[in-house]
Amino acid sequence: MAEQKTNVMRILEQKKIPYTPHSYPHGDEAVDGVTVAALTGLNPEQVYKTLVTRGASKQLYVFVIPVTGELDLKKAAKAVGEKSIVMIHVSEITPLTGYVRGGCSPIGMKKLYRTCFHAAAAEQASIAVSAGKIGWQVELAPQQLVKLTNGSYANLITEE
């Protein structure tokens, strides 16, 4: 598969942030993150998904968690100082972020929403997130990603 440049890749290059692109075969539908990890040869604990939520205040928040984890809505609300949060409806993803379901990246959304990464990301040498298009991931240092998104770290996933 010939490398395509996505807006995410262009932003990373413009900011001089080193990254490794990964592509995987796909159809028009998004596949789950564990499958993406397998197709790209990455450790599933290193592959992160981007989730967009709405707080009780109507503010939007972005949470970036391992594909193997499930967002704990109570922990997420606490992390951003909200009474409660809910996932946005799938139909809202593109109008609010500019991305499609399965290709949502914390980098380059229409607006810079408050972004929070699961704490385990800080312990990884690199993590992979969507490159803004189904079939593409970018792998980079989590510290660079947190800095780029003005993000923070918190414990965000449900315990097994």
**Confidence (pLDDT) at 97:** 96
Query: Mean pLDDT by 10-residue block, N- to C-terminus, for the chain (160 residues)?
Result: 79 97 80 87 94 97 96 97 96 95 94 97 96 94 97 92
DSSP lists the bridge partners of residue 52 as: 62
Length of the chain: 160
**Which token pair is 53?**
């939520």
What's residue 2's pLDDT? 47
On whether residue 2 sits in a domain, the answer given is no
pLDDT, position 1: 44
Domain count, the chain: 1
- Eight-state DSSP code of residue 45: G
Distance CA 103, CA 126 (A): 19
Residue 159 within a domain: no
| DSSP per-residue letters across 13-43 | HHTT---EEEE----SS---HHHHHHHHT--
For every residue of 84-112, DSSP letters joined together read -EEEPPGGGHHHHHS--TT---SSS-SS-
- Domain assignment present for residue 1? The answer is no
Kindly state whether residue 160 falls inside one of the protein's structural domains.
no
Q: What is the pLDDT of residue 89?
A: 95
Residue 77 included in any domain: yes
Quote the radius of gyration of the chain (alpha carbons, Å).
15
Q: What residue numbers bound the domain in which 30 lies? A: 7-154
**pTM for this one?**
0.94
N-terminal to C-terminal alpha carbon distance within the chain = 37
CATH number at residue 55: 3.90.960.10
- Return the DSSP state at 73: H
Give the C-alpha separation, 6 to 122, whole Å.
25
For residue 25, the model assigns a pLDDT of 86
For residues 6 and 92, what is the distance between their CA atoms, to the nearest angstrom? Answer: 21
